[in-house]
Amino acid sequence: EGTLSEVRRFWKMVDRPNLMIKIPGTPEGIPAVLQALTEGINVNITLIFSISTYRQVAEAFISALEARRTAGEDISHMASVASFFVSRVDTLVDKLLEDKVKATSNTSEQQHLKSLEGKAAIANARLVYQDFKKIFNTPRFAALKQAGAYVQRPLWASTSTKNPAYRDVLYAEELIGPDTVDTMPLETIENFRDHGRVRLSIEDNLEEAHQVFDALEKIGIHYDQVTKQLQDEGVQKFADSFHTLFEGIAEKRKAIETQQVKS
């Protein structure tokens, strides 16, 4: 309820039809996503790391559109994106792989572990894109589309390359496809403009994507544990940034008020 109160406050305060408010795709956040969308508020569902969470987010979006349509409300203006985080998956999985490499002296096992580095993030995003296609190409959504609804596009977040051993436009090049959004930091944008390769890549190597997670599971790196840890850490980082922002605003406001009193 606290999240919804803030969402409604910001929506009313800004009062712009193109405003999109972030709500985390956590177990606590998804009910707020459903309600906000049902009320006609555009939502960017953030901190999505797992395919199961993505499915819940897409379901919330479609259910909200159906509720609005049943109530006779307009759905043609509704906009939403599902922000699926990419490079952080590799950062964590690669660290777990490196720990396992250090823990064994078996050369062939080390080679196998190293062969999985830098694979999980792109595989994860490509598999979720397959879910996106299935969900938004059903008779259920077709009925909403006829009433003016737009798809909820996957948004690739955290797309800068963290590991200097990888291509600096890796996550931009490998996730290009229809109905997607890619948010890139300025450095990645400039790098892509300089030497990025444009091609339809989002559906490349889908069989390999499944194999990556099968292989990780076999060596004890569990998908659900990885994605939960990343989401928990992401929530904390967002909370810290939010508090830092408002502390900075408060300090600036105090400084301005003090200066006004002196003058």
Q: Which residues are catalytic?
A: 22
CA distance 236 to 240: 6
List CB contacts of 88: < 8 A, sequence separation 6 or more. 49, 121, 158, 162, 230, 234
Residue with tokens 């906000």: 36
DSSP state of 79: -
Do 212 and 116 form a contact (C-beta atoms < 8 A)?
A: yes
Q: HSE (CB half, 13 Å, CA atoms) of 22?
A: 12
User: Which residue is associated with the tokens 């960017």?
Assistant: 44
Q: Using alpha carbons, select from 126, 177, 183, 143 the residue that is nearest to residue 160.
A: 183
Residue 184 · residue 211 · CB < 8 Å:
no
DSSP labels, 6-31: HHHHHHHHH--TT--EEEE-STTHHH
Amino acid at 197: R
Structural tokens at position 161? 């390359």
Per the CB < 8 A criterion, the answer to whether 20 and 42 are in contact is: yes
Look up residue 68 and give its two tokens: 């609005």
| Rounded Cα–Cα distance for residues 11 and 13 (Å) | 6
Q: Which residues pair with 48 in a beta bridge?
A: 84
Question: Within its chain, how far is the Cα of 147 from the centroid?
Answer: 27
